[in-house]
Structure 1
């Protein structure tokens, strides 16, 4: 056991540091590291999605930052132009760390106290941490007595923990998404593609929360997702999610990260019906393709008239991610009775800007060859197997009425 102020016994200037992402961030370690950063000049921190304000632009006086995403609190670093983005599929990240493609000298883990098997677990966040820890020179763990012990995340084989800091502090929480009439209308169209027994993948936020809230009359749904929030608990408690018909992991909800409130964390604590698994399982193509009825629900910044998706950039600013979208889209397309949905509001900026566009203003995250179903508050467009001309027609039909004429004119120009 060590004290947080003793990090300089283990970390060297110029090291590459990785820690648990999202709500699993080990705050005692990360806050102490930032406070002591002058001792680690030249070090680089790799972060995933971030829900704390531990890191800020001012900390680049001694540190540099990299990530696969510009989501949540990472936006502050993006806006200050101090976050280096590494575009990556979530399925790639464990191999990037284990092979050294992304350097990793020191890993901060956030672990629970030992559970039923006598071992600690990674609690609410698994992802790519074990792959990084197996490669690192030093592994430092924060053992927090408020971190729930979870199934699927207690296999720390191959990881040598060099030092442990004990703590007792509340975990970070993520508030439920805001659900407006727009999200409810999107959910009404999206749920038409979700039948009894479907196995769901979704993110967090207003749209996925609205969709899940609309599935109370479904039976024997399953969940296999990169992340889940509190809305998943509601469906499980209501009996709509049983996982009983899953062709893989029957009876079990599978996720890589739990992003919610204490309600979710308490529900997951020593719950055999929930497993927190690594990204090379949750996002593995062979696993996803073998799940009958796998239904991927993702979103976008903008989509074009032929089905290309930009989930990364707005006006040159990296505010999203490649993340798990392509992993899940392709898994759904390969699965028996699978379905991939991209659900988004039809406009931005109080209706002034259409999010269905003739040509993308940012990178192509998901190819049009992987297009399946697109949903807005105006309807749903099934693009799989359709010609380019028919795709254009169907996408214009789900755009906001105020933008359809302009899109029609622009589409004619594109076809000339």
Structure 2
């Protein structure tokens, strides 16, 4: 049977395609723009016909009907990482979450420690050999496909056909639907003087030939904007965005100096503009891979001079980073921060940067604190922390004593808070 015949046999409306979902199922959906809007809209419209169905993903980017506290007995969101769309449900208790390092989600799926009965995903058009590319987010989705009873694709001509381990054959697909809607675009975060100052400190410490992992946010993008004059940078990251594409266009990224998979940029999900998505299309310099490969600290750490840049919300005197909750109230998730901090620590010449503004709430609260707020989820531990950067400077904590860490962090805190931080440190016998 030809692949075109198989395609036509499995092609149907989104309303019909969601018929593969059974009561009690967990539907796994890719990260961010990898989520299929037609399928999830159809599931939302029919949600009251189901019982005890969960939809699990990282970073949802559209507010579907099942984000509804009144219908959680029918279809409920389970987050691997909260976004602005899902955060309220997590904070109010009508959505649940699974805590895990991003790199470990495929293994949790493979071991059946987290369920995957059905997979819904965006996909590129099928090629002549019968393959689709899940280019926008192969992440944990490839592992979920291996475990799922049913796989449903939303095929869209705007989805690029990327290289890498991100392909699925039509014979593996249970049902597919078609759409031509524009992909959701996410602009660059706003960069102000604080972000720009932090970005300069970090950029000055990144040498020519370094390999980069760039997280999402204003500060990481401020770093990127100050790297356009660098030479022979490489990319081994989890998220590829417009900032990295800008460095490629400026000639700063060549991947020539990478000693692990030289000549290739690696990522596990894309988040940016339509220009970025088309940049991925059959680009031989870019490969999209599952997160168990891109974020594995051992594999990523084989890149010499790996420089990882990630943000946190609060850090204490010992260097513990609260990057995913405000006290016990969930805000985001662990994601790949721990993965890449550990990878950079393993890397020959690597540096792991944790970046944060020194204050919050219009300079009324210090983000550098004696102890984390009660209940805060620790993302980067005191044993993994390396460089901490605020707009007031850089503190290198790895290998330092508790007293040295305390002194270094107070020195990069906002001047208005240094006095009370020193007083607290003395009460704690750290100074």
* TM-score of the aligned structures, taking structure 2 as reference length: 0.93
Are 2:148 and 1:133 aligned? no
Match in the other structure for 2:417 = 403
**Aligned residue runs from structure 1 range 164-175, under 5 A:** 164-175=176-187
- Paired with 1:394 and 1:298, the residues of 2 have a C-alpha distance of 19
* Aligned-residue offset at 1:192: 2.3
* Aligned-residue offset at 1:63: 1.6
Q: Tell me, yes or no, if the aligned pair for 1:68 and 1:88 is still in contact at 8 Å.
A: yes
Match in the other structure for 2:201 = 189
Match in the other structure for 1:331 = 343
More displaced, 17-26 or 180-189? 17-26
Of residues 8, 16, 19, the one that matches 1:9 is: 19
Match in the other structure for 2:7 = none
- Residues 125-178 of structure 1: per-residue CA shift (max 9 Å, x gap): 110001001101111111111111111144326982111111111111211110
- Paired with 1:208 and 1:295, the residues of 2 have a C-alpha distance of 12
Alpha-carbon RMSD: 1.6
Decide whether aligned partners of structure 1 residues 8 and 322 sit closer, same or farther in structure 2, where only a CA change above 3 A counts: closer
Decide whether aligned partners of structure 1 residues 8 and 307 sit closer, same or farther in structure 2, where only a CA change above 3 A counts: closer
SS of the counterpart of 1:370? coil
* Aligned-residue offset at 1:400: 0.4
- Paired with 1:244 and 1:77, the residues of 2 have a C-alpha distance of 45
Decide whether aligned partners of structure 1 residues 297 and 116 sit closer, same or farther in structure 2, where only a CA change above 3 A counts: farther
Match in the other structure for 2:98 = 86
Match in the other structure for 2:61 = 51
SS of the counterpart of 2:309? strand
Decide whether aligned partners of structure 1 residues 159 and 242 sit closer, same or farther in structure 2, where only a CA change above 3 A counts: farther
Match in the other structure for 1:161 = 173
- Paired with 1:174 and 1:37, the residues of 2 have a C-alpha distance of 28
- Residues 256-281 of structure 1: per-residue CA shift (max 9 Å, x gap): 10110111111111111111110011
* Aligned-residue offset at 1:371: 1.4
More displaced, 56-65 or 389-398? 56-65
Match in the other structure for 1:37 = 47
Q: Tell me, yes or no, if the aligned pair for 1:51 and 1:174 is still in contact at 8 Å.
A: no
Match in the other structure for 1:414 = 428
SS of the counterpart of 1:341? strand
* Aligned-residue offset at 1:116: 7.4
Decide whether aligned partners of structure 1 residues 159 and 119 sit closer, same or farther in structure 2, where only a CA change above 3 A counts: closer
More displaced, 226-235 or 312-321? 312-321
**Aligned residue runs from structure 1 range 12-411, under 5 A:** 12-54=22-64, 55-58=66-69, 59-115=71-127, 119-156=131-168, 160-361=172-373, 362-411=376-425
SS of the counterpart of 1:330? helix
Decide whether aligned partners of structure 1 residues 159 and 277 sit closer, same or farther in structure 2, where only a CA change above 3 A counts: farther
Q: Tell me, yes or no, if the aligned pair for 1:29 and 1:108 is still in contact at 8 Å.
A: yes
What 5-or-longer segments of structure 2 have no aligned partner? 1-10
* TM-score of the aligned structures, taking structure 1 as reference length: 0.97
* Aligned-residue offset at 1:193: 1.8
SS of the counterpart of 2:238? strand
Decide whether aligned partners of structure 1 residues 66 and 144 sit closer, same or farther in structure 2, where only a CA change above 3 A counts: same
* Aligned-residue offset at 1:20: 1.6
Matched residues, number: 416
Q: Tell me, yes or no, if the aligned pair for 2:166 and 2:288 is still in contact at 8 Å.
A: no
- Paired with 1:259 and 1:180, the residues of 2 have a C-alpha distance of 21
Decide whether aligned partners of structure 1 residues 378 and 159 sit closer, same or farther in structure 2, where only a CA change above 3 A counts: farther
SS of the counterpart of 2:89? helix
